[in-house]
């Protein structure tokens, strides 16, 4: 018998399914649009400074918001600073360095496939380090979602040449693993209001990213008007608001729900590219979306325990 598995995937604090759906759609939109804004900004702004600027903007916005609603940062001796320092490294600084270096050789399509391993890595790590255990249905569902990403981004002319730069691909895969580690670590952090948690994470990330940007590109440049608008959009939407929302989803619903959401982000990015960057509408978008949706549905199934007949 098959039934829908509500135990590990439903909100832990009584959040309605409709609320969670709205939050998921928001994250998909802001993270999907981030690829488009990054693509515009890096035309005139070094990638490392783009990341540093968006982290600084995000940290300032979240910190102001936290203070307005009455939250205060903990003292520097609070153990939570260590937790969020780790998350700043694994969720922002380190994966960007790894993926940026890998992308010097690997094209964007293959990069999207490699980063698309993040949900699969997340559910495997969650099995060992959280209460969300891996099931056959969950593994099958997430594998279908990953196949959807492959269908969307795999080059039409497939050949063994795709693995010739495996060292660079390994860097990108390591970056994907960093994002998965961050998601699992976030589910185990000490109880902290999501605005303060986001502020701590972004403050640490802003500092680390700025140090890296200075070491690589020198003093901070003055962005063009177009790049500045992208930085503000990225800092406010996909960094500040999205980080608060991201931590809230993990706290209320667990790592697996966040992993499912991540499968829709690249699809959203491609659709936005078609709408705003005059990219070609490919039939593979629809096949990929179907596979991802099917995978999400299947991943929520479980086998009912057999009962002994009376």
* Residue 258 contacts residue 126 (beta carbons within 8 Å): no
Residue 184: count other Cβ atoms within 10 Å of its Cβ.
Answer: 25
pLDDT given at position 101: 73
pLDDT tens per residue, range 72-104: 999 989 999 999 999 988 887 788 778 777 766
pTM of the model: 0.75
Delimit the domains of the chain by residue range: 2-303
Q: Cα(153)–Cα(261) distance, rounded to whole angstroms?
A: 18
Q: With 0-12 CB in 10 A as exposed, 13-18 as middle and 19+ as buried, what is 182?
A: buried
Q: Where are the alpha helices (DSSP H) in 116-165?
A: 118-129, 136-153
Length of the chain: 310
pLDDT for 309 equals 43
Give residue 57's pLDDT band: very low, low, confident or very high (50, 70, 90). Answer: very high
**Amino acid 5: pLDDT:** 39
What contacts 77, CB < 8 A, 6 or more positions away?
A: none
What are 303's two structure tokens? Answer: 């086998």
**Crossing angle of helices 194-217 and 47-68, rounded to 10°:** 150
Contact 273, 112 (CB under 8 A): no
Mean pLDDT of the chain: 80
Confidence at residue 157, expressed as pLDDT on a 0 to 100 scale: 61
Specify the residue for token string 């003055």: 222
């Amino acid at each position: 018998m098959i039934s829908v598995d509500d135990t590990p995937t439903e909100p832990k604090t009584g959040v309605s399914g409709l609320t969670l759906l709205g939050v998921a759609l928001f994250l998909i939109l802001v993270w999907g649009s981030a690829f488009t804004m990054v693509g515009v900004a890096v035309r005139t702004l070094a990638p490392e400074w783009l990341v540093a600027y968006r982290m600084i903007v995000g940290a300032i916005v979240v910190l102001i918001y936290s203070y307005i609603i009455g939250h205060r940062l903990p003292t520097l001796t609070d153990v939570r600073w260590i937790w969020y320092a780790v998350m700043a490294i694994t969720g922002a600084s380190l994966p960007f360095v790894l993926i940026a270096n890998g992308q010097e050789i690997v094209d964007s399509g293959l990069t999207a496939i490699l980063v698309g391993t993040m949900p699969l890595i997340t559910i495997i790590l969650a099995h060992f380090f959280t209460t969300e255990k891996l099931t056959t249905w969950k593994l099958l569902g997430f594998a279908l979602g990953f196949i959807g990403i492959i269908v969307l981004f795999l080059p039409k002319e497939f050949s063994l040449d795709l693995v010739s730069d495996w060292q660079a691909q390994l860097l990108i895969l390591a970056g994907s693993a960093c994002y998965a580690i961050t998601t699992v670590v976030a589910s185990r952090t000490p109880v902290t209001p999501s605005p303060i948690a986001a502020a701590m994470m972004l403050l640490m990330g802003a500092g680390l990213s700025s140090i890296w940007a200075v070491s690589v590109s020198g003093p901070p440049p003055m962005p063009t008007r177009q790049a500045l608008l992208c930085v503000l959009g990225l800092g406010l939407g996909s960094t500040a608001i999205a980080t608060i929302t991201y931590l809230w989803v993990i706290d209320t619903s667990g790592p697996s729900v966040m992993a499912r959401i991540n499968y829709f982000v690249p699809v959203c990015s491609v659709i936005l590219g078609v709408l705003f960057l005059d990219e070609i509408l490919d039939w593979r978008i629809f096949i990929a979306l179907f596979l991802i949706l099917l995978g999400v549905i299947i991943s929520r199934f479980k086998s009912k325990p057999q009962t002994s007949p009376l």
